Amino acid sequence: MSEAKPAGLTARAIGVVHRLLLGLPPTRTAYTVERGLRVPTRDGAELVTDHYAPMDTAYGTVLIRTPYPRGLPESLLHGRMLAARGYHVLIQSVRGTGGSTGAFQPIAQEPADAQDVVAWLRTQPWFTGTLATLGGSYLGWTQWALLQDPPPELRAAVVLVGPHDFRRAIRGTGSLALADFLGWSSAIAAQPHGIRAVVAARRRVSTALSSRTPAGAVLGDDAPWFTEWLNHHDIDDPFWQPYNASSALRDTKIPVLLIGGWHDVFVDQTLEQYHRLREHNPDVALTVGPWTHMDTAVTAARVVDPEALAWFDQHIAGATPRRRSPVRVHVTGAGQWRSLPAWPPATTERVYGLDSTGRLTDSPGEGSVEFDYNPDDPTPSVGGRHMSAGAGRQDNQKLEQRADVVVFTSDPLPRDVEVFGAPRLRVDIGEPAPLFVRLCEVDSRGRSWNVTEAFTWFAGPGEIDLGQCAHRFRAGNRLRLQISGGAYPRYAANPEPARYSIACARAALTVPAS
């Protein structure tokens, strides 16, 4: 543990640049940094923690718990930024990471450790008795873990792309979210050995996925938790209960700001959190930008950091609210932000038929289409809502030329069409099988850009809800519905060959009510 030291000239200069780049309000106080505090847990583990402390009056404490390095970007974007504006900030390495002792048992370990951290906080002379939490992705999960049994000191939270139910994130589609969680597990296991080891681990995973090496053989004993995930297929298995913090959505009454991205793997959970909390909590707000999961770490900071600071200033420091509306969403395709009283806004359905000739029309769908799925050449994934490299908006033209992908395309749109909420597809595919469905926008050059999607094991007839979106389809462009039997390596490939016979029915898009 080092002694608390005031921020030096370089740190202050970087803080000025940071403020100007992100449009933050001026700093309010000098601050000190004390690294390497060791916070005890009930079973004797010690959690290494860095403390950023304002030198003048403090409004409260912001707790950030992470399995990733405590330095950049977290130290700048949140540690120094908030301390310079009157908040104690604790950036803590969770158990088994960053020098913290104990075995790393991802996700399941966080509820008990979070409570132990709060118990330690109560003994600190500088603690004002007012607590807030902040963080994204796994750091968002650590907040839901604490909110299952919220301490009385907790007054506000900012959850960024943070799932409350990792069961569904890992296995909820009926298939393992392979690329995301194999890649994440590999990187976490390599992290203690430095950045070069992490990069090398990512490369090994990429090579293994390309050659379809069995997932269990990729990591060996380096990430034992991943082997457990492979061995527990049913999300209703008691094994998965510690991965589910849904009770927090029922009981949380503190002000919560939720921030998501339309191309984020967890965006539907973020929107579910908003709806569940809003049923009983008047102090819930939602911001959804045009981001992928990885974008939210740095790219989105110009939106995320000012909103997080304003949320804490309002609910911790008692400042005048700076947020103009409960909901702010970025309308992709239009390139503009929209302020709304709630999500989604009032909508009406626009129904399209799926025709056996591959057309998306205003008439009822007729006939059927067939295609084969070959496990030796599984349908690849292109872009979309995941947290691996290449996520987000991508051109699907090459993918759509494969024989195992069918598309239904509209005529050019006579006017702009906005789609808000979750499009729905009604189909009959006969035997249960994996189904990947994607809504795209085809531009004048024939490029097919993904907008929203869903993957599920499905047996029809029935309806599939695609992920929610806020998108403007431009006049002259075309709508395209894409259907296939997989998206590898994003999802584990179906090991069995399959013959799909899809009885064409209809797709319903939700458009804003006039």
Per-residue confidence in pLDDT tens, the chain, 514 aa? 567 788 777 778 778 888 888 889 999 999 999 999 999 999 999 999 999 999 988 999 999 999 999 998 898 889 999 999 999 999 999 999 999 999 999 999 999 999 999 999 999 999 999 999 999 999 999 999 999 999 999 999 999 999 999 999 999 998 999 999 999 999 999 999 899 999 998 999 999 999 888 888 888 888 999 999 999 999 999 999 999 999 999 989 999 999 999 999 999 999 999 999 999 998 999 999 999 999 988 899 999 999 999 999 999 999 999 999 999 999 999 999 999 999 999 888 888 888 888 999 888 777 889 999 999 999 999 999 999 889 999 999 999 999 999 999 999 999 999 999 999 888 888 778 899 999 999 999 999 999 999 999 987 788 889 999 999 999 999 999 999 999 999 999 999 999 998 887 777 776 665 4
- Burial of residue 19, with CB atoms counted within 10 A of its CB: 0-12 exposed, 13-18 middle, 19 or more buried: middle
User: Given its phi and psi angles, is residue 201 left (phi above 0), alpha (psi -120 to 50 degrees) or beta?
Assistant: alpha
Whole-angstrom Cα distance, residue 54 to residue 74? 17
- Where helices occur in 148-239 by DSSP H, the ranges are 166-171, 178-190, 195-210, 215-219, 224-231
Position 311 scores a pLDDT of 98
Q: In angstroms, rounded to a whole number, what is the distance separating the alpha carbons of residues 131 and 122?
A: 10
pLDDT of residue 213: 87
Question: What fold, for 5-168+239-340?
Answer: Rossmann fold (3.40.50)
pTM: 0.95
- Residue 314: helix, strand or coil by DSSP? helix
Report which secondary-structure segment, H or E, holds 14.
helix 9-22
Measure the CA–CA gap between 298 and 321, rounded to whole angstroms: 25
CB atoms closer than 10 angstroms to residue 365? 23
CA 258, CA 460: separation in Å to the nearest integer?
34
DSSP 296: G
Q: Report residue 28 as tokens.
A: 């309010």
Task: Choose among 346, 350, 342, 250: nearest CA to 288.
Answer: 342
The domain limits of the chain are 5-168+239-340, 175-232, 347-512
> Distance between alpha carbon 368 and the CA centroid of its chain, in Å?
36
Q: Contact 461/505 with Cβ under 8 angstroms?
A: yes
Would you identify the CATH topology of the domain 347-512? Jelly Rolls (2.60.120)
356, two tokens: 């056996």
Both tokens of 352, joined, read 């399209």
* Distance, CA of 134 to CA of 120 (rounded, Å): 18
What is the model's pLDDT at position 2?
Answer: 66
Terminal C-alpha separation, the chain = 61
